[in-house]
Structure 1
Amino acid sequence: MADDAALARRIETGALSPLNALNPYVQGVYEPVARETTAEDLPVIGEIPADLHGAFYRNGPNPAQAPQGLHHWFDGDGMLHAVWFENGKARYRNRYVRSADHLADLKGGCGAGGVMEPSTRANPASTRGERVYKDTANTDVVLHNGSLMALWYISGEPVRVDPRTLETIGGETFGGKLPRHVSAHSKVDPRTGEFVFFDYSLYEPWMSFGVVSPTNELTHFARVDLPGPRLPHDMGLTENYVILHDLPVVFTEGGLRRSTWNIHFADQPARFGVIPRNGSGDQIRWFETDSCYIYHVVNAWEDGDEVVMTACMMTPNGFPPNPEYGPYAAMVNVLALHAVPVEWRMNMRTGEVRKRQLDDRIGEFPVINLDYTGRRTKWSYHVAMAPTELQRFKGLIKYDLETGAATTWDYAPSQFGSEPAFAPRVGTTSEDDGYVIAFVTDAGTGKSEVQVIDARDMAAGPVARVLLPTRVPAGFHGTWARGDQLAGA
């Protein structure tokens, strides 16, 4: 929590409402930045490798206006932060993702709040339909068809963004053919250029998935019926299949009845639905496994008769709700991510599921070399979680997904990072020949930097530290775009 004087100043200036004085996720490393910034030729400690060419983008919440009601960390307006690398130099900028709801809020209100407020579905006069919470496009970002798409975790309207300037282009409907919404953690197939997405309804018993061509045409769409409404967060993608998640974290009966964000862990197994990428809903094969929740998939691929998926499996964090946070105690408790890497093998011939835990270290926000999405990978890069109530990213873990062996890099004690990206070395033909790149912020000084680490020598730490002119708040997910992918953008 921030010190009392800093809190008082923020409340006095209107930057923080009294109701959010107990909310740790608008303070410290989570505090939003006030301005959009552009900076060229950034100072560097060390040397940016000459074979590092491309851009690292990261999305996250950054409230444009001081929240007045109860505010969840996931509610903030989307803001992209990006660093472009070329010829041993780096430049930076950050820009808001100007979703339709963000623009409406600036003009007086979009008619919806965040997940700790009553949803508009509970208001009979609302005309928002399925858009029951403010759609911020603040969660994920992918590169497809020459531009970025910012995506939202409750499934919303994708927002196209210029990859060179971060200026918002507008909402994406794939030529007016998008049936409904798109969820964060939808995937781009690096071999075909296709965008494969999933969607789900908060209050109705179905999920759906679709395929968009590299030229932005919706080529396939199918719906999958479920036993009840579900709240999936990610999906798996292989060369031939989509893997959908039916997981036991669901709305309570009261939450469904009142249309409020009240969730619980139901007494039911987890299920993974494997379905052909161009298949119909009745072709799905369900595989039951131990009850668990999954926020983030590492990767998925096919191995003979088996479909393999590796992901971070949530386990109990061991923290009781802390009354110090008042009305935010439950939010803080849920956000204390406690996950371990696990591999599931689903046999398409026998229906058998085999589960293997790779390690017992706590980590999350996994990334891979995106050129290997949907095919067998040996390496992944995870954020190491500090054993604290607040979601603090204390370092990085590189995993060998075959053996579970790991190499780590720990930030300085006062530093905390966010999801990294893997940047392949120019001209490489090897999966882990490249760099791991992450935004890192010092909680004491408020200064941020980008650390560039040789992926083959994680323990040696950064080969370059790019110093930024503004603080980068802790955030969510990002992506890497190679220089050749940006050339035609």
Structure 2
Amino acid sequence: MDGKLTDLEPVRIEAGELTGENTLNPYLQGFYEGTNRETTALDLEVIGEIPKDLHGGYYRNGPNPVRAPSDMHHWFDGDGMLHGILFEDGKAQYRNRFVRTDDFIAEQNGTLEAGGVMLPAHRNRPDKVYKDTANTDVIMHNGQLMALWYVSGTPVRVDPVTLDTIGNESFGGKLPRNVSAHSKVDPETGEFVFFDYSLYEPWMSFGVVNAKNELTNFQRVELPGPRLPHDMGLTKNYAILHDLPVIFSESGMRKSMWNITNSGEPARFGVVPRNGTGDQIRWFETEPCYIYHVINSWEEGDEVIMAACKMVPNGLAKDPKYGPYAAHVNVMALHAVPVEWRMNMRTGEIKMRQLDDRIGEFPVINLDYAAKKTRWSYHVSMAPTDLQKFDGMIKYDLITGDAVEHKYEPGVYGSEPAFAPRIGAKGEDDGYVVVFVTDEASRTSEARIIDARNFDAGPVARVLLPARVPAGFHGTWVRGDQLVA
């Protein structure tokens, strides 16, 4: 952080006012309302003391509409915005930037051909039938961040210090189609393992990009019909693909609308050698369920293990005060519990074990341990409300199922956190959990640093931010040595 890099001048875009039925959409207002200012802040007020052994960057992606939408708007439709805070030598810098996707630029120019997921799909765009926002996930690979979109879109490279958009990533022009959010990076090999799926065709695919950014494998996997997977698993030798019973309804398929239904079929996990072929996949059937987010996956002898958050019914009624958005609100109230599946590659047997009955989601781990056996994971805890709000975090022992909770003050809600190993860490949970939180009443935000081994205590430091961080999606941690490299 020597100040030699130049930033974009802070930008403000006039957002406009909500009109019509969008005045009933809670995911455009209050805690969820986007910020229309790009900010750079190099001198931040700190309550407490930022640990000197904390070095790196915490980033979080999320939907942030540039303009007030006039059509029906899903929370997932908002333009991608990255929020990032860099720590070094007990000091911090904060920046936020829009991810300048092709569709972001086209919308500014008035040439955008596709809308959000509550509108008819633009089937004349064969590879992207909805607006591609890169608003969902953010990962580090080959020295740069990549912003990714959940419906499979174009990966967008971003500078991890300035957050300036570098440009689209095609892996040397060899990317066959798109990349979905929740693709994985192997910390030992530097490989990026991704998956892609087609909304209206019966197949999905997976691929491998090496540490030099070269596409080394790409394979197609045939399916019984179009599917809507959200995440994948990765182990030392395998990718784990999801064939889940939440699919487009027949009416949705005919009308090219995002209209989903539960088929009642078993959930299937496809274990395939990451450098193998699509026809080498082995499917393991389990009870019907949906999974948004995988905790981690690894191998033990003949078994491939995947820990994930399994959705359970939320028990909430659709509230008529949200008008046409009542169903959207109900679906967004994520209720999930941590579950482990063990798939035996020799016998074909699959076993499921629920670790806890607390409601949580958005799990994160120490990314240095991704794709190998982990003991600890950190989940957001869901507030008892009909909207998606994170009122704290839960640290899980994945072996015993024991948990420790860290709760925020009333009216303060968090983001997906990230685990930050301390410099010279001696173990998997030797470090800090970093998270953005926002006070809903005061509309102020801060970054908090929590000692992972003293998880239920207060933060060791609170970094006050000059910009509000709206509710959003996924985050990551990048070690300081990776930033230097």
* TM-score grouping bracket, smaller chain normalisation: over 0.9
Instruction: Tell whether 2:93 aligns with 1:115.
Output: no
Amino acid at match of 2:469: V
Per-residue deviation, residues 388-418 of structure 1 (Å, max 9, x unmatched): 1100100000000000000011000110001
User: Which residue of 464, 479, 482 maps to 1:485?
Assistant: 482
Aligned to 1:7: none
1:290 & 1:14 partners in 2: Cα distance?
46
Aligned to 1:6: none
1:61 & 1:267 partners in 2: Cα distance?
31
Aligned to 1:98: 100
Give yes or no for contact 2:171–2:215 (8 Å, CA) kept in 1. Answer: yes
1:368 & 1:323 partners in 2: Cα distance?
38
User: Which residue of 381, 386, 389 maps to 2:378?
Assistant: 381
Instruction: Tell whether 2:71 aligns with 1:69.
Output: yes
- Where 1:120 maps in the other structure, the secondary structure is coil
Per-residue deviation, residues 362-387 of structure 1 (Å, max 9, x unmatched): 00000000000000000000000012
- Where 1:325 maps in the other structure, the secondary structure is helix
1:28 & 1:204 partners in 2: Cα distance?
38
Instruction: Tell whether 2:206 aligns with 1:204.
Output: no
User: Which residue of 455, 459, 463 maps to 2:460?
Assistant: 463
Distance apart, 1:322 and its partner CA: 1.1
Distance apart, 1:16 and its partner CA: 1.7
User: Which residue of 135, 138, 147 maps to 1:138?
Assistant: 135
Distance apart, 1:434 and its partner CA: 0.4
Distance apart, 1:19 and its partner CA: 2.5
Amino acid at match of 1:251: F
Amino acid at match of 2:45: P
Aligned to 1:3: none
Per-residue deviation, residues 157-181 of structure 1 (Å, max 9, x unmatched): 0000011100001111000000000
Instruction: Tell whether 2:231 aligns with 1:237.
Output: no
Give yes or no for contact 2:127–2:178 (8 Å, CA) kept in 1. Answer: no
Aligned residues: 472
TM normalised by structure 2 equals 0.96
1:431 & 1:421 partners in 2: Cα distance?
13
Per-residue deviation, residues 222-254 of structure 1 (Å, max 9, x unmatched): 110000000000000000000000000000001
2:272 & 2:15 partners in 1: Cα distance?
53
Runs of 4+ in 1 over 3 A off after TM superposition: none
Q: Give the fraction of aligned pairs with identical amino acids, expressed as a percent.
A: 71
User: Which residue of 236, 248, 269 maps to 1:251?
Assistant: 248
Aligned to 2:149: 152
Alignment of 1:313-328 (within 5 A): 313-328=310-325
Give yes or no for contact 2:438–2:470 (8 Å, CA) kept in 1. Answer: yes
Amino acid at match of 1:345: R
Alignment of 1:411-422 (within 5 A): 411-422=408-419
Distance apart, 1:212 and its partner CA: 0.2
Give yes or no for contact 2:269–2:284 (8 Å, CA) kept in 1. Answer: yes
User: Which residue of 336, 348, 351 maps to 1:351?
Assistant: 348
Runs (5+) with no aligned partner, structure 1: 1-11
2:445 & 2:83 partners in 1: Cα distance?
12
Distance apart, 1:13 and its partner CA: 8.4
Amino acid at match of 1:71: H
Amino acid at match of 2:478: A
Distance apart, 1:130 and its partner CA: 2.6
Amino acid at match of 1:379: W
Per-residue deviation, residues 448-470 of structure 1 (Å, max 9, x unmatched): 00110000011112000000001
Output the aligned Cα RMSD. Answer: 1.0
Give yes or no for contact 2:193–2:208 (8 Å, CA) kept in 1. Answer: yes
TM normalised by structure 1 equals 0.96
- Where 1:102 maps in the other structure, the secondary structure is helix
Per-residue deviation, residues 321-354 of structure 1 (Å, max 9, x unmatched): 1111001011000000000000000000111111
Runs (5+) with no aligned partner, structure 2: 1-13
